[in-house]
Amino acid sequence: MRRRSGATCHSLTLCLLFLLTAAVTAGREKNSSSASLFWSTAKEEEDLLRKTEPNDDSSAPSVVSDPDQLDGGFSSLDGMLQWAIGHSDPAKLKESAQDVQRLSPSELKKRQMEIKELMEKLKMPSDAQLMQIAIDDLNNSSLSLEDRHRALQELLILVEPIDNANDLSKLGGFAVLVQEFNHPDTDIRKVSAWILGKASQNNPFVQKQVLDLGALSKLMKMVKSSFVEEAVKALYAVSALIRNNVAGQELFYAEAGDLMLQDILSNSSIDIRLRRKAVFLVADLAECQLENMHKVELPFFSNRLFLKSVVDLTASTDLDLQEKALVAIKNLLQHRTVEALVLKDFCGLDTALERLRQQLRDLMLEEYQRDYAMDLEALRKEVELVFHTRLGMGTKVPT
Ligand SMILES: *[C@@H]1O[C@H](CO)[C@@H](O)[C@H](O)[C@H]1NC(C)=O
Ligand SMILES: *[C@@H]1O[C@H](CO)[C@@H](O)[C@H](O)[C@H]1NC(C)=O
Ligand SMILES: *[C@@H]1O[C@H](CO)[C@@H](O)[C@H](O)[C@H]1NC(C)=O
Ligand SMILES: *[C@@H]1O[C@H](CO)[C@@H](O)[C@H](O)[C@H]1NC(C)=O
């Protein structure tokens, strides 16, 4: 099992999953109750699938979300099957799928038992074992670049379920991945950051392990990479590491994370995905700061230039970026240190909101944009209301 051959499925688990699924589909056509047997033997895979199901990327971005939560690994069962098919011998697969369809219910049942026995005999490797192989490979400096890529792609998939992410930590996988940040190949660095981001997402245990390895400052340097894909995944990982994590955020500010964000927000030649992620992170940090009731307000929230760079994003031509900027402004307006007058006089928020109102009014006339434009207008109005309330109240925060 050490060296996997490139021509067929990468992992036995996935190959079997595909075959089982084909069998289940065929079984359902004949007798629905007989199908369940398969799944009981493939429980782990079922769990894995449930957790990899996408956060529904309904392409109308009416709900603000970080797009990286959606990409990577398999976004659906279908995606996983496509992948498995792509890595299998097509002739053999077709043959076995046809075989399964020809079976009668009793034959099918017999076949199920055979597969079950076979699986037990084969001792299907657990996800933890597969991760161990990938880590050992990565930790081998003489591994070929191709095999290194393959090991990383496998980890990218395996790390999705939260239990696996925790196991990867116990296997020492994160230290190995952080080493990969120094690899000369940009794709290796990119996928390593991506895996760390995925594993850290909503996982305080992993966040701590990864932060303790000193990954944050390395990732922040990668955000400045001239290779856009690397920068995008690095910023994704930075967000995942510090999200709802006070220790991570303190480290982020200590490393001048606020300046990093401001540089991205204020530079319109920077890739739009980076800018969206940056403003999404600002909104998130502002919200987190409120929830944690920090006694000390972050000085960067009262930095005029910083605030202006956020307000200026509302003049972008990218609706998604505009929406994320509105959410950020709304959250920032909840902060005592953010002065409404500064937003008005220095940042021109009044003018910006009015310009946006007109833009959205025009967009609503276009059928295909209408719903989204209406959602955005509702959000814009909400920001306007909070803003004017704050203006009327001087420096006090609305209650
Ligand atoms: C479906 O399977 C059950 C139990 O396996 C069996 O009792 C039943 O007769 C089957 N029905 C059909 C339509 O094959
Ligand atoms: C490291 O990789 C090389 C090339 O794939 C292989 O020959 C060697 O056995 C590996 N070393 C270890 C310790 O696995
Ligand atoms: C990686 O290899 C080194 C020796 O080259 C070893 O000390 C270390 O424990 C290995 N790390 C993991 C996570 O296997
Ligand atoms: C803006 O970003 C571009 C592309 O990353 C970079 O070349 C340029 O130096 C940046 N401008 C400023 C003022 O930082």
C-beta 139 within 6 A of ligand 3 = yes
Q: Are residues 113 and 142 in the same domain?
A: no
399 found inside a domain: no
Work out the pLDDT band at 11, boundaries 50, 70, 90: very low
Residues 57, 170, single domain; the answer is no
For the Cβ of 131 lying below 6 angstroms from any atom of ligand 3, the answer is no
- Give yes or no: residues 77 and 142 share one domain: no
Which ligand has the minimum distance to the alpha carbon of residue 132? Answer: 3
> Percent of the chain at pLDDT above 90?
54
Is position 1 within any domain? no
Q: Is residue 28 part of a domain?
A: yes
Provide the number of structural domains found in the chain. Answer: 2
Q: Are 194 and 255 in the same domain?
A: yes
CA distances from 210 to 106, 180, 234, 247, 289 (A): 52, 13, 13, 12, 22
Is residue 398 situated within a structural domain? no
Q: Does the C-beta of 93 come closer than 6 Å to ligand 2?
A: no
Neighbours of 282 (CB within 10 A): 29
pLDDT higher than 70, residue 216? yes
The residue ranking higher by pLDDT, 48 or 240, is 240
In a domain, 150, yes or no: yes
Pairwise pLDDT comparison (273 vs 46), residue with the higher score = 273
Q: Tell me: do 205 and 225 sit in the same domain.
A: yes
Q: Of 73-77, 109-113, 190-194, 366-370, which range is least confident?
A: 73-77
What is the reported pLDDT for 10?
42
The verdict on the CB of residue 130 being under 6 Å from ligand 3 is no
User: Which range of residues forms the domain containing residue 46?
Assistant: 6-122
Mean of all residue pLDDT scores within the chain: 79
Show Cβ contacts of residue 215 under 8 Å, excluding neighbours closer than 6 positions.
174, 178, 181, 196, 237, 241
Average pLDDT estimate for 261-283: 95
Residue 52, CB-side half-sphere exposure with 13 Å CA sphere: 24
Indicate if the pLDDT at residue 329 is higher than 90: yes
Whether the CB of 140 sits within 6 Å of ligand 2: yes
Q: How confident is the model at residue 302 (pLDDT cuts 50, 70, 90)?
A: confident
Measure Cα distances from 381 to 85, 145, 356 in Å. Answer: 49, 52, 10
- Whose CA is closest to atom 11 on ligand 2? 140
Q: Is the pLDDT of residue 51 over 90?
A: no
d(CA 185, ligand 3 centre) in Å: 21
Atom 9, ligand 1: which residue's CA is nearest? 31
Kindly state whether residues 61 and 203 are assigned to the same domain. no
Query: Do 98 and 192 sit in the same domain of this protein?
Result: no
Q: End of a domain among 71, 103, 122?
A: 122
Nearest atom in ligand 3 to the alpha carbon of residue 136 is 14
Domain-ending residue, one of 82, 104, 122? 122
pLDDT score of 3 more than 50: no
For residue 31, the CA-to-ligand 1 centroid distance in Å is 6
Domain boundary among 122, 146, 161: 122
Cα of 3 to ligand 2 centre, how many Å? 9
Give me 204's structure tokens.
């305080």
324 shares a domain with 185: yes
Assess if residue 49 is contained within a domain: yes
Q: Are residues 16 and 29 in the same domain?
A: yes
pLDDT of residue 292: 74
Residue type for 199, please?
A
Q: Are residues 294 and 386 in the same domain?
A: yes
Given this model, what pLDDT does residue 384 score?
Answer: 95
Q: Work out the pLDDT band at 126, boundaries 50, 70, 90.
A: confident
Indicate whether 97 and 160 sit together in one domain. no
Question: Among 93, 84, 97, 69, which residue's Cα sits nearest to residue 13?
Answer: 84
- Report the nearest-CA residue for atom 1 of ligand 3: 139
Q: Is residue 257 part of a domain?
A: yes
Specify whether the CB–CB gap between 206 and 165 falls below 8 A: yes
- Greater model confidence, 23 or 385: 385
Among 71-75, 77-81, 126-130, 193-197, the range with the most confident prediction by mean pLDDT is 193-197
Per-residue pLDDT at 14 exceeds 80? no
Confidence of residue 80 (pLDDT cuts 50, 70, 90): low
- CB of 270 closer than 6 A to ligand 4? yes
For residue 36, the ligand closest to its alpha carbon is 1
Q: How confident is the model at residue 105, as a pLDDT?
A: 82
Q: Is the CB of 269 under 6 A from ligand 4?
A: yes
| Residue range 195-211, pLDDT digits in tens | 999 999 999 999 999 99
Same domain, 364 and 222: yes
Residue type, position 81, single letter: L
Write the CATH number for 348.
Answer: 1.25.10.10
